[in-house]
Structure 1
Amino acid sequence: MPPVVLTCANPSDQRWAVMKAVDVLTRGGIVGLPMETVYGLAARLTQPPAIERLKKIKNISTHPGWVIHVAQASQTSLYICDMPSMAARIMKKSWPGPVAIQVRASAKEQAALEMLIQPAVAAEVISDGWITFRCPDQPVTREILAALPGPTAMVGAGELQPAGDVGDIPAHIVDQLDVLVDAGPARYRKSSTIVRVEADQWQIIRPGVIEERIIHRLAEQVIVFICTGKTCRAPMAAGIAGTWLARNLGLAPAALPQHHLVVESAGLHAADGLPATAEACTAARELGADLTAHRSRAVTVDLLQRADVIYTMTQSHRDELLERYPAVADKTFPLDPESDIADPIGSEVGRYRQLAKRLEALIAQRLSGILS
């Protein structure tokens, strides 16, 4: 019998599709759902008969390695108590989106999952100690996932080729569904990228929409310092921060990117291509930082999006930055929360030395958490 097909042509249709899909899934049904990548088939992992039925529909005979789909990253804490910082970083920068994250589940976390769902089903979620999560960038599906208690698994609806649209789903699969939510063609028509993360290392388990070079950027921990013209304070702070991190991690400053640590600087009103002042170079060099290759550049949206944390030299810098880019408010702070760091431009080198020492002390306070 053909399934109920629910279109999402308008907000009213979408609300009905969400309500109907949630009801069917809660009662143990199988629902075809849209994602930004491909169409998928969903079932509740708390419903073993539904999972067995899904395996038959997809003709799955080997370990399925069910991927838990969530509406937001915070839901992963229901299954993994201590998410690796790199995994959390990639999630924060790429979710919702076409990246699935695979991490190790401890014996305690595996036991907890077996209390939530039957051990036989839990054994199909955790593969050799690994568990995989995905947060799709499709508003209707995310709303459905948010309304469902407990974990939900999804698997691609296609067979030989990914199902980028409802019409791409084989007829014999469509006929076995209870409900099919039709939200039109998927954005990418290609599978998500699966990234395995362990400690501070990552590898692509399944290539997909997001290329390796993009994953590399998502994995980086990017620290950005902001001043006005980027010839004194911000480049000094970035140089000193890089030196401080390298020294405390037992690395050469040039090796920081290999360990996914990137320190950048930018100016709110910077002209591109100017060197750091001679006094800034001298004061930074005395603390082990080399600014000779530094060239100024203006703040860009790309840099701010990549940043994990942004430190401004003054409160007014933060205010201006947030006026222009309000989306970065939750990760932007004055480097010194007590008082502004004044611009030394035009001063003698002695003042730059005082500034360098102050910056080093503030950086040690701010960045000490990275070492742990």
Structure 2
Amino acid sequence: MEFGSGAEDDLFRERVREWLAEHLTGYSGTWERELGTGGWIGLGWPEQGYGNRTASLMQQVVFAEEYARCGAPARSGHIGENLLAPTLIAHGTEEQKRRFLPPIARGDELWCQGYSEPGAGSDLAGVRTKAVRDNAAGGGAGAGGTPLYRVTGQKIWTSLARDADWCFVLARTEPGSKRHHGLSFLLVPMDQPGRIDVRPIQQITGTSEFNEVFFDGAHARVDHVVGGEGNGWRVAMSLLGYERGVSTLAQQIGFAEEFDRVLRQAVASGTADDPVLRDRLVRAWAELRTLRWNALRTLGTPVPDPGAASVAKLLWGGWHQRLGELALHARGAAATEGPADWSADHPYVLDAAQHLFLFSRADTIYGGSDEIQRNVIAERVLGLPREVRVP
């Protein structure tokens, strides 16, 4: 794709900037619904007709830039818009698209991701959550006699689970199956008291950014299986392609904002006078530019390339960790200080630099560890022999 913007893109930028300036103050209800009413959800979907409007790749870049620049709220609809929606468009039935895409485009329904389990994180093929057919079940998600699955198992590190209306769940639908076989991609409603239990995971700071989700016979409709029964691994890997590659565009813009804050802190504290730290800052800036061009390049690929997505994940995961380390070094000794009013009864509130450092430690683990990404590149791109697995 061409990386330059034209006159039409400049006009689009002005419209985005004006809309954000007008609606960021005084909006009522939820921000996702505000975005949906304005028509700003689903710009990157390859199809129209689901309540969304499409935009060119450069216009998607423009929107992400302006959104980050004005300090707009973090998106609670990211998982539905940027992960599930492209997956449904690629693998879902027309009925599934028409049921689920319009509420995402309106900002009415939020999603969470049911992939990782206590014994199956980066090794996702080890999932043990089961979904068993129960054609005779009544009520719940299968009211009216619709055939159901009963989902039983546990998921962990589930972002937004407390607020989500739906969860896409990778579960084992073929009894006795192992590894990549016998898995299905299910769409499960979260409003099932007694069948779904969401438990926040409390961190040492006293806050809870992630959750455990327990399914105890939760209902999922048979016609809400995406890609067909037993094809869950293919669908799940397709979705991870969007997570690791295409959907990182807005993330790259956020990285630029974080780098600018670190740079300003280094100048303000005087640590930028250290030639070693200054060299690290310059290197981080150059690597950030590489990340940006690589993200834009992957946007031009119609179908997610697992090799390109894995390369992108390796690049930004390591870079963001190094930026977290720089954030503390840029502040000097003050980076180790905690809030003056902290106590056992008062949550430890991290400042921006401390949060960046600690949270970025997980960047090379979640979404597929560095080791998994290297295996993907070795086996699927370079054609090297598959890793020998011990039974």
Structure showing greater Rg: 1
Report the TM-score when normalising by structure 2.
Answer: 0.26
Greater fraction helix: 2
Greater fraction strand: 1
Bigger relative contact order, structure 1 or 2 (CA pairs below 8 A, ≥6 apart): 1
